[in-house]
C-alpha cells in the first residue's frame, strides 16, 4: 500500500513538472532543453529565455536560420552554471538535486547547513546546475537566469571570427567571402569599407582582417501590440505602348550582308535565323490587324555602321526599337533610345544599367535573380518538409549567385513550404550525406572540377537530387561523354526541343516558309517580335511563346519592365525536359 502511494506521488510530481518546465534530454551527446515552438517565438526570444548564445542554438538545429515553425521541436544546449535557489514548502535535498540535475553531495558540499535538512526560505548555492525553464510563463524560477547571455564559446568564435568594440566589428575573411558579401551582410557600402580599411581596390584575401563600422543599438522591452495584416498588391503593371494606325519598328542585326573584312559567318548566320523568325511573327501580327513598317538595320555593313544609322532622322519616329543582340552595340542603342524617349526591347539578357532609366524599356529574358527565384520556389514545392544543403561556391560570381538563391529561398512563404536550408562548403558538405533518406544538394558553382566530382559520385544514387546551373551543359563531360549519365535540375530563360508541343507546329510552319529546319535563335526572333508588337494591339501581362514564357513586371517608376518567367528543366539521359 505504501509503495502504491509513493508511485502515485512521484507520478503526480512528474506531470506537474512536465506541464510547467521545458523537458531536458540528450541530443547529439549534449544535454538540451526541448522547446516546442509557439506562435510568436523567434530566435532572439529563445536566446533570452534559455540564456543560450544564438550561435549554439543554430549549430544544434541546422536550418532554423530561415525561421521557426509553430509546433516544431528545437534543441537548446544546456548552459550549466551556479544558481541561487530559495527553498519552498515540502522541498527536500532529493527533490532539489533532481530539479537541477546535480548530486546531493554537491549541494551539501557548498551548503553545509543543508545536511541537517532544508528550511523554508533557506538560500542554497547550487553549482553546475541545469536550471528548469518555466515555459508556460516565459520565465524561470531561479535568479541565475536573469544574468547576461554567456559569451561565445571558443568553437563559435573560431567559426564566426567576430569581435566587437564600441563602433567597429573586426571580421576575419573566410575563403568564400568578399567585400561585396560583407557589404550586403552588414549593410555598409563597399566604398566605405575600402576607405575604413585603406584599400585601393575591392580585392581581399582569406584570413585578412576587415574593419566594419556598425551602429550601437539600444534594445528596450516594448509592449506587444496587434499588427494589421499586410496587404500585398499583386497586380502587375502593364508594359503599354501607344495605339496608332501605323507603327514604325526598328530591328538591329549584324547581318553583314556585303561580307566586310570583319565578317563572322556564325554571327551573320544567327542574325539571319533571328530575322527569319521575326518575319514569321510579323506575318502573324499582320493577320491580327497590326499595320507596321519593319525597318531592318545591318550595323555590320561596309557602307553603314551603328553611328551613321542612329544619325538618320527616321530613327526618331520609331515606336519601338529591338536592341542588338550583342552587349556593346546594345549599350549604344539603349542610350539613344533613353535620350530620345523611344521604347526599346532587349531580346537577350543585358546589364541592368542598360535598360533602367527608360520607362518604356523591357528586358525580354529573365535575369539571374528571377531564375534563382524560380529555382528556389521549385525546390520548396518538391521538398516541403526537407532540409536542403547549399554547397556554397568560392568565386565572386558563385558567391553572388548563392546570395540571390538564399534570399529567394528565405522569401518563400511558410504556407507554401517548411523546407529549411543548411549552408555548407566543399570541405564539410559530406557530413550531411546521411541526414535524411533523400539528399537535396543545391550547387550554383562554376568550379568545373568540383562539380564534375559531385555529379560523378552521385550519378547512380536515386535518393540524391542535385540542383545546379545551365552553364554545366556547355561542358563536354556533361553533354558529350556517353559514360557520364549525369542528372541535375536547373533554371533556364528558355526551352528549345524539337519534341516540345509548342515547337512542333512552329517547326512545320518554318519549313513551309523557308524549306529549312527551325533553330533556337529563329524561335527567339519569333517570340520576341510577336510578344513585343502584340502590346500595340492588346497589352498582356503574361504570354507563352514557342520557347519563352513572358510575364512583365515593373522595375519601379521610370525603370522599365523585366520578364520574370523562365523554365525549370531536368537534365537526364543527355536531354533536358521541363519538370
What is the pLDDT at residue 398?
Answer: 92
> What distance in Å separates the CA atoms of residue 193 and residue 444, rounded to the nearest whole number?
27
| pLDDT < 50: residue spans in the chain | 1-19, 137-148, 150, 152, 156-157, 159-166, 215-236
What is the pLDDT at residue 530?
Answer: 93
Q: What is the model's pTM?
A: 0.61
CATH architecture of 247-366+500-570: 3-Layer(aba) Sandwich (3.40)
CATH architecture of 368-492: 3-Layer(aba) Sandwich (3.40)
Domains of the chain, by residue range, sit at 19-146, 169-213, 247-366+500-570, 368-492
What is the pLDDT at residue 232?
Answer: 35
What is the pLDDT at residue 576?
Answer: 93
Half-sphere exposure of 305 (CA within 13 A, CB side): 5
What are the cell numbers at 206?
A: 582569406
What is the pLDDT at residue 35?
Answer: 85
Whether the domain at 169-213 and the domain at 247-366+500-570 fall into the same CATH topology? no
Q: Which CATH number fits domain 19-146: 3.40.50.720, 3.10.350.10, 3.30.930.10, 3.40.50.300?
A: 3.10.350.10
- CA angle in degrees (0–180, nearest 5) for 401-402-403: 90
Residues 6+ apart with CB under 8 A from 156: 53, 55, 56, 59
> Position of cell 540535475?
101
What is the pLDDT at residue 145?
Answer: 42
What are the cell numbers at 232?
A: 500585398
Q: Decide if 394 contacts 451 (C-beta within 8 A).
A: no
Q: What are phi and psi of 295, to 5 degrees?
A: -105, 120
What is the pLDDT at residue 404?
Answer: 92
| C-alpha closest to that of 522 among 534, 533, 510 | 510
What is the pLDDT at residue 516?
Answer: 93
Q: Decide if 153 contacts 56 (C-beta within 8 A).
A: yes
DSSP for residue 231 = P
How many other C-beta atoms lie within 10 A of the C-beta of residue 58? 15
Topology of the domain covering 169-213: Membrane-bound Lytic Murein Transglycosylase D; Chain A (3.10.350)
Residues 6+ apart with CB under 8 A from 436: 386, 387
Amino acid at each position: 500500500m505504501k509503495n502504491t502511494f509513493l508511485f502515485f506521488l512521484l507520478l503526480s510530481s512528474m506531470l506537474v513538472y512536465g506541464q510547467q518546465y521545458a523537458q531536458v534530454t540528450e541530443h547529439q551527446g549534449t544535454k538540451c532543453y526541448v522547446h516546442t515552438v509557439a506562435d510568436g517565438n523567434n530566435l532572439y526570444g529563445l536566446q533570452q529565455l534559455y540564456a543560450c548564445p544564438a550561435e549554439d542554438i543554430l549549430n544544434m538545429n541546422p536550418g532554423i536560420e530561415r525561421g521557426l515553425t509553430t509546433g516544431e521541436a528545437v534543441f537548446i544546449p544546456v548552459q550549466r552554471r551556479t544558481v541561487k535557489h530559495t527553498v519552498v514548502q515540502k522541498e527536500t535535498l532529493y527533490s532539489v538535486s533532481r530539479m537541477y540535475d546535480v548530486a546531493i553531495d554537491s549541494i551539501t558540499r557548498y551548503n553545509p547547513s543543508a545536511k541537517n535538512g532544508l528550511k523554508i526560505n533557506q538560500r542554497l548555492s547550487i553549482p553546475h546546475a541545469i536550471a528548469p525553464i518555466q515555459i508556460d510563463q516565459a520565465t524561470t524560477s531561479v535568479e541565475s537566469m536573469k544574468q547576461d547571455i554567456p559569451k561565445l564559446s571558443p568553437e563559435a568564435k573560431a567559426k564566426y571570427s567576430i569581435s566587437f568594440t564600441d563602433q567597429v566589428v573586426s571580421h576575419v575573411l573566410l575563403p568564400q567571402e568578399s567585400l561585396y558579401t560583407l557589404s550586403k551582410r552588414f549593410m555598409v557600402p563597399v566604398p566605405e569599407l575600402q576607405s575604413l580599411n585603406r584599400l585601393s581596390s575591392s580585392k581581399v584575401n582569406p584570413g585578412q582582417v576587415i574593419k566594419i563600422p556598425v551602429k550601437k543599438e539600444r534594445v528596450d522591452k516594448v509592449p506587444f501590440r496587434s499588427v494589421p495584416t499586410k496587404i500585398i498588391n499583386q497586380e502587375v503593371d502593364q508594359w503599354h505602348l501607344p495605339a496608332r494606325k501605323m507603327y514604325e519598328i526598328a530591328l538591329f542585326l549584324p547581318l553583314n550582308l556585303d561580307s566586310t573584312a570583319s565578317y563572322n559567318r556564325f554571327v551573320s548566320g544567327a542574325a539571319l535565323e533571328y530575322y527569319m523568325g521575326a518575319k514569321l511573327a510579323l506575318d502573324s501580327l499582320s493577320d491580327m490587324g497590326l499595320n507596321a513598317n519593319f525597318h531592318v538595320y545591318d550595323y555590320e555593313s561596309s557602307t553603314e555602321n551603328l553611328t551613321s544609322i542612329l544619325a538618320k532622322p527616321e530613327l526618331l519616329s520609331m515606336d519601338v526599337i529591338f536592341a542588338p543582340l550583342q552587349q556593346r552595340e546594345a549599350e549604344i542603342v539603349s542610350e539613344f533610345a533613353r535620350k530620345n524617349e523611344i521604347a526599346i526591347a532587349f531580346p537577350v539578357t543585358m546589364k541592368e544599367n542598360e535598360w533602367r532609366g527608360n520607362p518604356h524599356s523591357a528586358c525580354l529574358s529573365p535575369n539571374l535573380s528571377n531564375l534563382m527565384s524560380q529555382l528556389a520556389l521549385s525546390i520548396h514545392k518538391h521538398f516541403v518538409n526537407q532540409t536542403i544543403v547549399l554547397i556554397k561556391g568560392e568565386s565572386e560570381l558563385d558567391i553572388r549567385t548563392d546570395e540571390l538563391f538564399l534570399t529567394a529561398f528565405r522569401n518563400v512563404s511558410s504556407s507554401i513550404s517548411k523546407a529549411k536550408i543548411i549552408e555548407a562548403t566543399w570541405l564539410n558538405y559530406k557530413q550531411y550525406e546521411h541526414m535524411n533518406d533523400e539528399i537535396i544538394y543545391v550547387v550554383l558553382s562554376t568550379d568545373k572540377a568540383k562539380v564534375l566530382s559531385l555529379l560523378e559520385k552521385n550519378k547512380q544514387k536515386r535518393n540524391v537530387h542535385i540542383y545546379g546551373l545551365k552553364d554545366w551543359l556547355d561542358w563536354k563531360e556533361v553533354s558529350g561523354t556517353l559514360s557520364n549519365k549525369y542528372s541535375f535540375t536547373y533554371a533556364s530563360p528558355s526551352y528549345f526541343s524539337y519534341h516540345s508541343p509548342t515547337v512542333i507546329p512552329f517547326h512545320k510552319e518554318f519549313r513551309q516558309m523557308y524549306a529549312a529546319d527551325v533553330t533556337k535563335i529563329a524561335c527567339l526572333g519569333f517570340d520576341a517580335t510577336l510578344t513585343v508588337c502584340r502590346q500595340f494591339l492588346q497589352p498582356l501581362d503574361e504570354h507563352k511563346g514557342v520557347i519563352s514564357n513572358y510575364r512583365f513586371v515593373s522595375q519601379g517608376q521610370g525603370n522599365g519592365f523585366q520578364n520574370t518567367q523562365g523554365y525549370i528543366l531536368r537534365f537526364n539521359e543527355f536531354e533536358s525536359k521541363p519538370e
